[in-house]
Amino acid sequence: MSCLNKIRMALNSFFEKLTMLMIIVMVIVVFAQVFWRYVLHNSLSWSEELAIFLFIPKLVLSILIDLVIIVFACIVLVSGIQLTISTFNQPSAALNISMSWVYAAIPVSMAMMIMNTSYSCIKKLKRGVTMIITILLGVFFVFLVIGVPVSFAIGISSIAAVLYIGDLPLSLIAQRFGTGVESFPLLAIPFFILAGSLMNTGGLAKRLVDFASCLVGFIRGGLAMVNTVANMLMAGISGSSVADAAAVASILIPAMKKRGYDEGFAPAVISAAATIGIIIPPSIPMIIYGVIAGESIGKLFLAGAIPGVLVGLALMVTTYILALLYPDQFPKEQFPSLRVLWENFKKSFLALLMPIFVLGGIIGGVVTPTEAAVVAVVYSLIVGGLVYKEIKWAHFKEIMNETITGTAGTMFLVGTASLFGWLLAYEQIPEMIGQWMQGISSNPFIILLIINIFLLITGTFLDLTAALIILTPVLLPIAVSAGMSPIHFGIMLIMNLAIGLVTPPVGVVLFVCCNIAKVSIGRISRAILPLLAAMVAILLLVTYVPQITMFLPNLLSKL
């Protein structure tokens, strides 16, 4: 092993341990704040700022790692150019043509592709749209098409627009990036990710699945319904659809295949049910939306409860109808005895209590969402480590790596999308889109339908977090002008983007279940169509019947 490799590995190990230590310190600091407030009747006024300052180095580290990747790509590019130059005098065997023309074809063709795509975007843009918008959206979509990660596509297009404007200071880039992530409520994200990892490792997920199996497993197609009930229960813990999908799929997909379920339907129904994870509270996307829109995260959590349950019921009804139509593919399990039901209830009781602590604390005003997330971490650690005794010291490195990776990717995307969204507002895009929609129709029913169709299409190719940050400032004023409250719109927006999690080509949850089930994306995409239809039906019901979403928040306001 070379000296350079040894240094690189030592640095990686150091930064990994440092990041783990910062997460642990953040958990202790925020949990101490809750303890001091309610046990010692005092306040740690410095705790929130300290938690934010501890988080910033971790974010900077993630950016530095990404920059190292970019430097590596540049080195390879320079190497390729050098190779092209060095082969200038090297003729081909048959035609005696310089081989440098072969190597030069790749960068030339890519340059032509970018030019042609940019020109096409400019032609399609409406008259009156400025060159800044052309650069912002054109560069973004070009980079997205050629496979650049969405966070870098957003960041590069934003920087290009700032440079073109000219009179904006370059410090604006760092300022908007920092402003996007400098929020105490956003600290709930790494803690909920950590709580989800602890839950899965600590055996809470398995016990919830076993309890759900006792509740609905005896119905025809019941094992398929078990995953829906399990996801509804787990949704009150992790706040992440990807985490819920991974936990349930690893348990139920092998069991469903063994019982004779279609190999495409098993991961399809688990993918669809996993979307409930960001609709039923707590929800990481709701936290992000609440910060952007300036709305109460507690009210958003309440507003998502009934729609999330309706999505779950719709998926179960659809599954039951399919089971009646194809009984050979949907077996039913034995009816559990009261003893078995009671035993599984007792085993899952502590896991079932977690949503009560998390949501009850937020809704009751006892803790903030960030503090509630830390309470979830401590609770998962105690239950999984001390009660169930399934979390071992050997698991902590993997748990922390999952937390660091998930948090770094999310927060880097939040920062770049924050700059992108600010530039859209700078160019008055929300007003332009609002005028365009009002030109089509002034009917609120039609306007909301257009928004839903736009969001369903957007969700198929744009990452959920990026879409949430970019589209909230654009579409929220339009929805409010159509008579929709910001809380109601937030739930509608998240439900749309949740459907995008299970629709190709960027259906993250779909790909997670595909990898676990070892089936093709085409097979699972066909099987999920009836379930998608059920989800869209509930989306439209929630859109046009605001009482479904606003009942619980309004009830809380009256208390």
3-state secondary structure 142-165: HHHHCCCCHHHHHHHHHHHHHHHH
Round to whole Å and give the CA distance between 475 and 236: 28
- All residue ranges of the chain with pLDDT < 70 are 1-13, 15-16, 18-20, 22-23, 26, 29-30, 34, 36-80, 82-84, 87-88, 92-134, 144-145, 178-185, 236-239, 430-431, 434, 438, 505-506, 559
Q: Helix (H, G, I), strand (E, B), or coil: what is residue 18?
A: helix
Round to whole Å and give the CA distance between 199 and 420: 35
- Beta carbons of 317 and 537 less than 8 angstroms apart: no
3-state secondary structure 230-276: HHHHHCCCCCCHHHHHHHHHHHHHHHHHHCCCCCCHHHHHHHHHHHH
How confident is the model at residue 491, as a pLDDT?
96
pLDDT in tens, 58-102: 444 444 454 455 455 556 556 667 666 776 677 766 556 666 665
Secondary structure element (H or E) that encloses residue 299, with its range:
helix 297-325
Round to whole Å and give the CA distance between 126 and 431: 14
Per the structure block, which two tokens stand in for 1?
Answer: 């092993």
- Beta carbons of 176 and 414 less than 8 angstroms apart: no
Assess whether the previous peptide bond of 505 is cis (omega < 30° from 0): yes
How confident is the model at residue 124, as a pLDDT?
43
How confident is the model at residue 103, as a pLDDT?
58
The amino acid that residue 313 corresponds to is L
In whole angstroms, what separates CA 122 from the centre of its chain? 31
Looking at residue 462, what DSSP letter applies?
Answer: S
How confident is the model at residue 511, as a pLDDT?
77
- Beta carbons of 368 and 362 less than 8 angstroms apart: yes
Q: Which residues lie closer than 8 Å to 366 by C-beta, 6 or more apart? A: 38, 360
How confident is the model at residue 66, as a pLDDT?
45
Q: Helix (H, G, I), strand (E, B), or coil: what is residue 128?
A: coil
Looking at residue 91, what DSSP letter applies?
Answer: B
- Beta carbons of 235 and 244 less than 8 angstroms apart: yes
Round to whole Å and give the CA distance between 372 and 359: 8
How confident is the model at residue 71, as a pLDDT?
55
Per the structure block, which two tokens stand in for 427?
Answer: 């160019």
How confident is the model at residue 558, as a pLDDT?
72
How confident is the model at residue 488, as a pLDDT?
96
Q: Helix (H, G, I), strand (E, B), or coil: what is residue 467?
A: helix
pLDDT in tens, 290-325: 888 889 888 998 999 999 999 999 999 999 999 888
